[in-house]
Amino acid sequence: MLIRIPEVLSKADVAAMRGLIDSGPWLDGNVTSGAQAAQAKRNAQLDETSPQCRKAGDAVLDALQRHPLFISAALPLKVYPPLFNRYEGGQNFGNHVDNAIRPVRGSDFRIRTDLSATLFLAEPDSYDGGELVIDDTYGSHSVKLPAGDMILYPSTSVHRVTPVTRGARVSSFFWMQSMVRDDGQRTLLFELDSSIQSLAATGADQASVVRLTGIYHNLVRRWADA
């Protein structure tokens, strides 16, 4: 399930975040790569130990906690501290699958990567290329969103970033461990929750909405890890 999460950050928030991270210490993007990814990855990454990365990452996490669509779609149990990358001058990231387990260096924090996220921090007309291409059973999906919007997709997906031939593609990327690890179950819950919200907004019979809400929560109880 691919889900676009619009306006995670406002345009003003994006501008403030870019002002913070653009002047930060940038490193070779392979500092966080596994062996497979390192062969395909060509980009720069904001030093994850820097105060700029930590402050910007906290701002992303705060915004996600306030976004009901993200909560409904991800049902997050743990969120990896957001990281930041930049592609320019032909840089790209070839086909790869994200590692199943992501530890935070220097700590005992680790997550199972059920979902991956890319939060775009550059307007799409400010750079050429840089599409996030995600493969699933229905084909390839090319994603290039306005600054402040985010795409959420299964971490099991093969995906890539096409070469950036003009300008710079800047984004935040991170992973989530969901309370519901199975993507099919999580999709059903999201669709049910979305339907309940739509019915409630149209003034549908309250008793029916309550029954459907009960079904939703009973399925979460059955399927959730936490």
Query: Residue ranges for the binding site?
Result: 96, 98, 159, 169
Tokens of 180: 């519901």
Q: Residue ranges for the binding site for Fe cation?
A: 96, 98, 159
CA distance 193 to 223: 15
Q: Residue ranges of the alpha helices (H) in the chain?
A: 11-21, 35-38, 51-65, 68-74, 183-201, 206-223
CB-CB contact of 159 with 134 (8 Å) = yes
CB-CB contact of 42 with 93 (8 Å) = yes
Q: Residue ranges for the binding site for 2-oxoglutarate?
A: 169
Tokens of 129: 């290329």
* CA neighbor of 46 nearest in space, from 73, 31, 27, 32: 27
| Burial of 56 per CB tally in 10 Å (0-12, 13-18, 19+) | buried
